Amino acid sequence: MTDALSFPFVQRALVAVLLAAPLLGGLSHLVVARRLAFFSAAIGQAVLTGVALGVLLGEPVDAPWGSVFGFSLLTGVVLVFVRRRSVLPPDTLVGVLLAFTLGLGVCLLVAVTKRFNVHQLEAVMFGSVLTVRGVDLALLAGTGVVTAGVVGPLANRLVVQAVDARLSAAARWPEARDEYLFVVVLTAAIVVSVKVMGALMVEAMLVVPAAAARNLASSARGAFAWSVVVALLAAVAGLGVSTQVNVPSGAAIVLGLALAFASSLAPALGRRRQK
């Protein structure tokens, strides 16, 4: 990878993964704690619909960010609104919404491909860290700063609300406001990371680091730190592989995450045997 770093596009790619990995890895701990893994999949599917809507509305085919963020945010907010007022299990509601957004996205995609080559949309859906631009890096950096400023002070509260609802109610924390705020930030992080990893790969970065961290850490703070470390290592390693072998960068990063999770199983099994 050292030789490849002489190319500007590889340098931008390295900066992109160094920005995206801590962002998604840090959120991973909260996503798993609040049982939002399936939710992140629904937002990823909503990106497909947002891309098709953006192109139909005349946005650039390689950057329909307005429609993508708008539709994804609407999907997330509607899901939280319905979940808080429905007697159905949350995973059932997410499944219904996921099916709706996927069906709508495919129908709109057919309409789009009558005017555009479908391969033009693949870069948005599957991502390519080697094609990021300066504006993508600026969006990642800005989203990371906003996420740290908004979620950082609320992190402990968000975990407690997920683990013990009675304690949250006794403390009179604004649970509804916190949930909506977290969903907005999470949606923004998913959307801006699509260019780097692709909508179908971001979900792995929001779930696997925290899963591996739980096998390695013995405290909540340790789990957060390990989530970030695992995400960073997998992202850099995946980028290195994709620059040397002709494989998609997003897929290589996900394989790195899978390897990290498999490696984390040994310490976890060792601790269980000692007990």
The whole-angstrom separation of Cα 67 and Cα 59 is 8
The whole-angstrom separation of Cα 210 and Cα 28 is 5
pLDDT for 3 beyond 60: yes
**Local confidence band at 142 (pLDDT 50, 70, 90 cut-offs):** very high
Tokens 């739980």, residue located? 214
Q: Greatest CA separation found in the chain?
A: 62
What share of the chain in percent tops pLDDT 90?
13
- What amino acid occupies position 267? P
- Phi, psi dihedrals of residue 132, rounded to the nearest 5°: -65, 150
Lowest mean pLDDT among 29-43, 81-95, 112-126, 238-252: 112-126
Please give the pLDDT value at position 229.
Answer: 93
Any residues with CB less than 8 A from the CB of 5 and at least 6 apart, and which?
Answer: 11, 14
What is the rounded average pLDDT of the residues 140-151?
91
Q: What is the pLDDT of residues 193-223, one digit of tens each?
A: 876 777 767 888 888 999 999 888 878 788 8
Q: What is the pLDDT of residues 180-197, one digit of tens each?
A: 999 999 999 988 887 677
* pLDDT, greater one: 154 or 63: 154
Please give the pLDDT value at position 185.
Answer: 92
Any residues with CB less than 8 A from the CB of 62 and at least 6 apart, and which?
Answer: 120, 123, 124
What share of the chain in percent tops pLDDT 70?
88
Instruction: Give domain 4-274's CATH architecture.
Output: Orthogonal Bundle (1.10)
- Which of the given ranges, 33-47, 56-70, 95-109, 225-239, has the highest pLDDT on average? 225-239
Please give the pLDDT value at position 153.
Answer: 87
End-to-end CA distance of the chain: 43
Please give the pLDDT value at position 41.
Answer: 78
* pLDDT, greater one: 149 or 10: 149
With CA atoms as reference, report the closest residue to 208 among 265, 260, 272, 268. 260
Please give the pLDDT value at position 126.
Answer: 65
Centre a 10 Å sphere on the Cβ of residue 8 and count the other Cβ atoms it contains: 8
Lowest mean pLDDT among 6-15, 54-63, 226-235: 54-63
* pLDDT, greater one: 169 or 174: 174
Tokens 């998604």, residue located? 24
For residue 135, CA distances in Å to 141, 188, 189, 191 come to 10, 15, 15, 14
pTM for the model: 0.85
